[in-house]
Structure 1
């Protein structure tokens, strides 16, 4: 694969990414995005299935010779965030935007699809293109796609994430645990409301919730092994409506991030204890809803080494070993089924406005990163097929 072939794909990837950026759809609602993907695959003469695991699309490119099945994955859903960028491709849907780069992932995989569709005679085996819905919201779209057969017969799986925390021209990964597991919890507190001037007649749900927040923050610092990374975050505290009424009800919502199942189970147990006994101490009632989410993303060592070998030879790209990071990814489910590697492709560039964090209202990416992402996926696929030997 030459640099010129990627340069040929690049303008179309940019055009498609900007179209998708203008027309974002939330998790589990990606009907138009799915139809757009299917239309591109149709025009490229690529066999495909729709409604896989919901709004998922699976493209199938079979080569002229027997060989392995290589799966490549892109997610397609957006977020409930108002786009505050002033660019010509700004989201046209109020309150919804691609604030994580999934539009770029989809555009990249469509470009890769067309690259291989034009080279069927050179393909040894099959390339499976996984366009996945609903990555942003648990339980996610990966498991339903797997249950619908998206990984049947697959030998290896690769995925990329355009990543603004690292600069464009850099790609990073790591063998073993690379991204954290994620769980969600919701705490509904029922106290006894009343007049703000007579607190002794009430059970103040705000005070109860505040005590819980502070106690929950001690779980990681005092119960989890300090050598085992973990996070407990309370992202939402809702209670009351006016200044002189003691709120009868309050609701906390939080997330848990871990790298080991030991810490994950311990934290779940400790959250339940903290919530229950704090409520009891204030004579409040409480209901805890704890929702297990994505598991830890664990890269295969052999396939991660392949990434460093292959990507290190690509023009204009350097590789680095990433430390474990606390964001989660349902790509982890694919890696539980087959060997593979998930890669962070640098998309940060302050000179182009690509300096805001993921999930920020002004999030954007340096679109040059898409060329690097495509080159990585193509090169990994070709290298795996070249080195494949029948069992």
Structure 2
């Protein structure tokens, strides 16, 4: 029996454990940078196994090194494990036991498939060469993310390439997706406090109206995407928070705005910042208000290495995995990923596994009703296992 046959057969046999682990983690979610028990659970899983485990990497990260004892390349496999501040509304029998916290992005499933895959690769390590580094990463959901601090703490030392994948609830089940080049957007955020001069609504001439200024600002900011960004470049700008408390017959002296920006190139990410500040300054001058601005570039664009992605595509298309019906180019995806930081340090590939229900129904990521078809975890394990075996034995 070949190495891949043993790998696939063993993963299939362990699928019930994979599901059991995922459901335990789903019931016990922890927020970004507070995943203390989850990190302990992950580290404890490796007790007694033939590997080295390093905890507290860059915070709550766990790095596991599997050394075959034979010369070769070193591949890193990344799986994130934090949850979100969302009240679950799925009705699942293993729903979150933590009020207001939920695994609404599939990181519980990422961890479950990766634990079982890592265990199986340890058991079969006499049959492959080189090293595998498992990056169990905390805090993907909350900027600045866990990847940055884990890298600073040496998680990529000696690593040649990094692979990762995400289960996607709105992509077709039994399908694996790849895309070369920019695959996930870069993300920036802003917070603006506008300050004016409050007063009586019947005497607006004596005031500096922050609500009027903020309203004009919300509309004017949209001109950046429509009139400053090349139509062939992707960008979105969203004002998601607009707060101004007070009585209906007053002119408000303070407004708070917060929002989100996504782009598919570093050049556009920088362009939007310049134009954003220009528009804000113009609005402040026009309405005679002042402001405080907190503008941050949280995640860079995730860029898949062209050559490595072509390798992943070929590996998956020739894998003959019965659970995979198709391997397709997904195109770029809108959400952002702090996997981008690994890709800036090493040639990397981040791909996707469809996790919609077989009938095609789905709830989007970060939704209180978010769920995945659990068969996608076995597909993820087999897909990632196939890629890493081909990579190390190439």
Which residue in the other structure is 2:39 paired with? Answer: 34
Query: Following TM superposition, by how much is the alpha carbon of 1:201 offset from its aligned partner in structure 2, in angstroms?
Result: 2.9
* Among 162, 167, 191, the residue aligned to 2:167: 162
Q: 2:363 aligns to what?
A: 356
In 1, distance between residues paired with 2:205 and 2:225?
33
Cα distance in 1 for partners of 2:209, 2:331 equals 43
Measure the CA separation in 1 of the matches of 2:158 and 2:188.
Answer: 30
**Structure 2 residue aligned with 1:50:** 55
- Alpha-carbon shift at residue 200 of structure 1 (Å): 3.1
Contact 2:128 2:393 in 1 (8 A): no
Partner residue of 2:345?
337
CA distance, structure 2, for counterparts of residue 50 and residue 145 of structure 1: 11
Equivalences for residues 148-297 of structure 1 within 5 A: 148-297=153-302
Which range moves more in the overlay, 320-329 or 47-56? Answer: 320-329
- Aligned pair in 2 of structure 1 residues 77, 241: CA closer, same or farther (>3 Å)? farther
* Residue from 369, 376, 380 that aligns with 2:387: 380
Which consecutive unaligned segments of at least 5 residues does structure 2 have?
Answer: none
Q: What TM-score do the two structures reach when normalised by structure 2?
A: 0.95
Are 2:192 and 2:258, in contact at CA under 8 Å, matched by a contact in 1? yes
- 2:140 corresponds to 1:135: yes
Contact 1:240 1:246 in 2 (8 A): no
Q: What SS class does the counterpart of residue 17 from structure 2 fall into?
A: helix
Shift of 1:45: 4.2
Contact between 2:160 and 2:346, CA under 8 Å: does it hold in 1?
Answer: yes
Give 1:9-158 correspondences, 5 Å limit. 9-158=14-163
Alignment gaps of 5+ in structure 1: none
Aligned twin of 1:367: 374
Is contact 1:64–1:122 with CA below 8 Å preserved after alignment?
no
* Corresponding residue SS for 1:348: coil
Paired with 2:294 and 2:330, the residues of 1 have a C-alpha distance of: 34
User: How far apart are 1:365 and its partner, in Å?
Assistant: 0.5
Q: Distance in 1 between matches of 2:100 and 2:200?
A: 37
Q: How many residues align?
A: 386
Deviations 1:67-95 (A, max 9, x none): 11110000111111111110111111111
1:162–1:369 contact (8 Å) kept in structure 2: yes
3-state SS, counterpart of residue 256 of structure 2: strand
The root-mean-square deviation of aligned C-alpha atoms, in Å, is 1.4
1:45 to 1:385, Cα distance in 2 relative to 1, 3 A: closer
- Partner Cα separation in structure 2 for residue 80 and residue 306 of structure 1: 37
- 1:347/1:242 Cα in 2 relative to 1: closer, same or farther (>3 Å)? farther
Q: Distance in 2 between matches of 1:111 and 1:244?
A: 62
The answer as to whether partners of 2:11 and 2:117 remain within 8 angstroms in 1 is no
| Per-residue deviation, 1:21 | 0.8
Q: Deviations 1:114-173 (Å, cap 9, x if unpaired)?
A: 111111212311110000011111111111111111000101110010001211101111
Out of 322, 346, 359, the residue aligned to residue 315 of structure 1 is: 322
2:336 is matched with which residue? 328
Task: Say whether the 8 Å CA contact 2:63–2:134 is kept in structure 1.
Answer: yes
Q: Distance in 1 between matches of 2:75 and 2:99?
A: 38
> Is the contact made by 1:275 and 1:288 (CA closer than 8 Å) also made in structure 2?
no
Which secondary structure does the structure 2 equivalent of 1:65 belong to?
Answer: coil
Moved more, 233-242 or 67-76: 233-242
What CA distance in whole angstroms lies between the structure 1 residues aligned with 2:140 and 2:246? 34
Q: Distance in 2 between matches of 1:43 and 1:370?
A: 24
The answer to which of 122-131 and 237-246 deviates more is: 237-246
